[in-house]
Chains A and B, each alone.
Chain A
Amino acid sequence: MIQAKGIHKQFGALHVLKGVDLDVAERELVFIIGPSGSGKSTMLRCLNRLEVPTAGSVVVDGIDLLDPRTDLNHARQRIGMVFQSFNLYPHMTALGNVTLALRKVAGKSRAEADEIGHAALARVGLAERADHRPGQLSGGQQQRVAIARAIALEPRVMLFDEPTSALDPELVGSVLGVMRSLRESGMTMVVVSHEMGFARAAADRVLFMDDGLIVEQGPPAQIFEAPVHARTRGFISQIQRH
């Protein structure tokens, strides 16, 4: 589903990604962990071209994202993204957030878009909150609206960048619950997160990134219990202490 090869990313003199290869199969859930500044977000953002890699290739669902002839806006509808800070549109209702792209990009009528939007909100357990503004919702509810906004477009892949790290601990569970049900529906997912419990339960593969490279990868049990590299061991023991 995703084939990223030899990804390099430089911000001026700062070399953030130093040749990352990432293949994700259909229906696979790949988890990315690593210390702050290791390039996890940058890598994820290369997968929908919010960042343009300095070198390398990115193909998602057969679409070459770095080909200048690619219709990027069309491609991005197949790649849902969920951000740490939700990034909901504060001037619109939950339903308005979910239906904007349906109406403006997917070309649906308002009635069609509203129907799809209500269904998407129901999937994340927020059918009753369709008319609420983001400011009237809890963090967990906002993040679930953000997930609904992405899945309403029927993406082939979902990218999550630390979806629960801005949430109060008691709200994390509701968001992870939605992610788990997405997983069960067969969605291909790439998740940057340090929710180890979720990774153990749901991930097919865990990647450990450090300093712009994938240091080690494998099934969750192997990465968490028997990491090969010293840097992975150090990082795992560090986050397990929290």
Chain B
Amino acid sequence: MIRIEDLNYYIAGNPILEDIQLEITDQEFVAIIGPNGAGKSTLIKLILGLLPLQDGKIWIDDIPHLEWLSAHPMGYLPQREEYDRRFPANALDIVMLGLAAETKLGRSFTSQQRERGIEAMHTTGCIDQAFKPIGGLSGGEMQRVLLARAIVGGSKYLILDEPESSVDQPGVQDFFALLKELNMQGRTIITVSHDLHTVSAYCNFIVCLNRRLHCHNQAEMVNAELIQKTFGKAVRLIDKGY
């Protein structure tokens, strides 16, 4: 369970997140939606400990989040991963980073660990790319590699920031079906998304964020009015088949 209490976050004095209260129970499939600049990435980076907490509390399984994170694996797929296409790594090397936390300083990965890496790549459907250099992967292929990295450590939470951004439309359906499967296997999934259609088909909990939380409710209960409230002007994009 992830619990966020009285969270505020400022950048240079400007409020980015205000008065966030949120509880995510285990095995939910949560979508965070909201317009560009709403603070979605900021919120998940705070949960992941990638940004320092300024005001408020985040608890994971009733433990302060940083303490929890230092003792447990956590799966994260960033909105955009910075990497050099010429970096001499193959896809499996990148997946293996997900096991670095459980591997002692100065030790290389064991063959059992590499097996787990391969297995994760099977699960996310990118096994054919395992030994290809990362520079040769398409955006969608890389996305599956990064998903494999996020799940290989066995984290019960999986946090994704716009995973559909570099995937084509049929690919998005496959990708969410895969997430749903991981969810059915018992993982709690939190994904940021702009794809309302897909999100309402797969998620059971939608959080509308635009600096403040506008609604967080069962997916069925999110109606056009609430989405309108969150997105404001941006909602017109939806009318145009967004």
**Same complex:** no
